[in-house]
Amino acid sequence: MVSNAAAISDSELTAEVEAWLDEHWDDKNRREKGTDHLDLKSWLGKLVDAGYSVPTWSQDWFGRGYSGKQARLIDDILKSRNVVGRSQDRYNLGAVTVYRLGSEQLKSELLRDMLTGSQSCLLYSEPNAGSDLAGVRTKAEWTAGPDGGEYVINGQKVWTSNAKEATYGMLLARTDWDVPKHGGISFFIFPMKQDGVDIRPINQITGESEFNEIFIENARAPARNIVGELNGGWKVLQTALAYERLIMGEGATERRGKQKSSVPPLVELAKKHGKIDDPVIRQKIAQATAYRQLNSLNMKRAKDEIVKNGSSSLMSLGKLAMSRIQHYEAQVAAEILGPASLFDGEEFKDSADMNFDSAKAYMNSIGGGSDQIQRNIISERILGLPREIEVDRNMPFRDVKSG
């Protein structure tokens, strides 16, 4: 039975969720009760139909119309019981975008599939459109056909994680070249599993390959897969990006939660390498720990404000703050290790970890909008400062210089 958000008390909700899980979920083996392995699609279907995967969404679309606070209550229970598929209304970027901004037709066609295991990836950045994302040059050309016709897509995308696994790509493509850059972009849900989509992994400075380049040649997307208006893709993107930044900023508190001891890892490292009594190192460890602690306190305040007022400007500070935290922690770790920082590999695990972390820190400070873009956003949206003048803002896109 689906309970009414206002009517149900927190304790009733807790009891209901716990009882449902007792019946359906095997905590220990992390699978559906009565099965011998986790059938993800089947399990997610159950969780989605119960309304526990996207509790803040409306009852028409797999949700329960619950408040953020009630959703967090459910999330806490699911998390504590190792349940797969919790809080997709916060973490499933593709589904959130379609739910918030897609047409009714698109929602009925895609939402359930997206919530039950079909993954999505981001097709935003291009080699010549990074921070200046409105400068995308991937071309989408309409051709006639049944059901509104379709678009033929040509271009190159970059920094796409999860591309091989994804069924859907959230694609930003240019549909009008004769208007200024922001006004000629459309946002597509693009089928990834088709001819003309070539996925090539990127070798990153960390030694990992999480990201890919995507070469798109004469691939297709149905016209009905446009999210929002034709040529209204920029607005859709802003909403999608806001969700992405929210998730990245929250990473801070989530990661901290995993830490077993309350003693900072840098203290352990300094002890191990005989630097714990070095007063200069101690100052730096304290400062690095403070940066992380202060960000956690800010994020806690943000969450309290969201519960109380529905929103918080503090939330958007998290990602920028995280850049300083990660770069500084890696720097202090290097200073603790001293000349041994030059080593790497299995034999020098601490050095290898530090070297990895110092490269990985750029993931936060460049990815998902660089620190410089974050500072623009904070100063414009929170502080109300004017935008920097952009020379190409009102020019037809085909006349804009690129390179």
Partner 1 sequence: MNEISTEDRIAMRQSFARLLEDQAGDQALRETMASPHGFDENLWKAMAEMGLLGLIIDSEYGGVGGDAQLLEDLMEEAGAHLLCSPFISTAVLAASLISASSDESLKAELLSSICDGTKIFAIAATDESGLWTDQGISIRGSKNGDIWTLEGTASFVLHAEKADQLLVFAHTDEGTRVFLVDSKTEAVEVQKLQTNDPALRLSKVIFSAANAQPIAGVDVTAIGTAIDLAKVAQAGEQAGGAKKIFDITVEYLRTRYQFGRQIGSFQALKHIAADMLIEVESAASAARHAAKMMATGSPEAKTFVSLAAFACADAYRDVSAQAIQLHGGIAYTWEHPAHLYWRRARTGLWLFGSSDQHREEYLTCLEAA
- Residues lying near partner 1 in the complex (CB under 8 A) are found at 262-264, 267, 279, 282-283, 285-287, 289-290, 293-295, 297-298, 300-301, 314, 317, 320-321, 372, 374-376, 378-380, 382-389
Provide the minimum distance between the beta carbon of 261 and partner 1 in the complex, in angstroms, as a whole number.
8
Return contacts of 363-367, CB within 8 angstroms, 24+ apart. 363/206, 364/248, 364/319, 364/322, 364/323, 364/326, 365/323, 365/326, 365/327, 367/159, 367/248
Nearer to partner 1, 127 or 274 (CB): 274
Nearer to partner 1, 119 or 379 (CB): 379
Q: Which is nearest to 261 in space by CA: 271, 250, 275? A: 271
Distance from C-alpha of 124 to C-alpha of 151, rounded to nearest angstrom: 17
**Nearest approach, Cβ of 324 to partner 1 (angstroms)?**
8
- Considering the complex, what minimum distance in angstroms separates the CB of residue 314 from partner 1? 6
- DSSP output for 249-304: HHHHHHHHHH-SSSS-HHHHHHHHTT-TT-HHHHHHHHHHHHHHHHHHHHHHHHHH
| Smallest separation, CB 72 to partner 1 (Å) | 20
The distance of closest approach from Cβ of residue 137 to partner 1 in the complex, given in angstroms and rounded to an integer, is: 25
Residue 126, burial from CB neighbour count under 10 angstroms (0-12, 13-18, 19+): buried
Please say which residue, 295 or 355, places its beta carbon nearer to partner 1.
Answer: 295
Q: Shortest distance, CB of residue 68 to partner 1, whole angstroms?
A: 20
114 close to 166: Cβ distance less than 8 angstroms: no
Shortest CB 259 distance to partner 1, Å: 12
Spatial contact of 72 and 88, defined as CB atoms under 8 Å apart: no
Going by C-beta distance under 8 Å and a sequence separation of 6 or more, which residues neighbour residue 59? 2, 51, 65
Nearer to partner 1, 164 or 381 (CB): 381
14 or 331: CB nearest partner 1: 331
Of the candidates 139, 142, 193, 146, the one whose C-alpha atom is nearest the C-alpha of residue 166 is 193
Q: How far is CA 10 from the centre of its chain?
A: 29
Q: Are 315 and 331 in contact (CB under 8 A)?
A: no
- Closest to partner 1 by CB, 11 or 309: 309
Residue 79 phi/psi, 5° resolution?
Answer: -65, -45
CB of 276 to partner 1, least distance (A): 8
Q: Which residue do the tokens 């059901």 mark?
A: 147
Q: Which is nearer to partner 1, 241 or 317 (CB)?
A: 317
Could you count the other beta carbons within 10 Å of the beta carbon of residue 182?
Answer: 20
> Cβ closer to partner 1: 79 or 273?
273
User: Residue 79: helix, strand or coil by DSSP?
Assistant: helix
Q: Minimum CB separation from partner 1 for residue 384, in Å?
A: 7
| Rounded-to-integer distance, Cα 167 and Cα 100, Å | 20
Beta bridge partners of 123: 171
- Minimal distance in Å, beta carbon 135 to partner 1? 18
Structural tokens at position 390 = 């952009």
Of 203 and 262, which CB lies nearer to partner 1 in the complex structure?
262
The residue among 154 and 370 lying less far from partner 1, judged by its C-beta, is 370
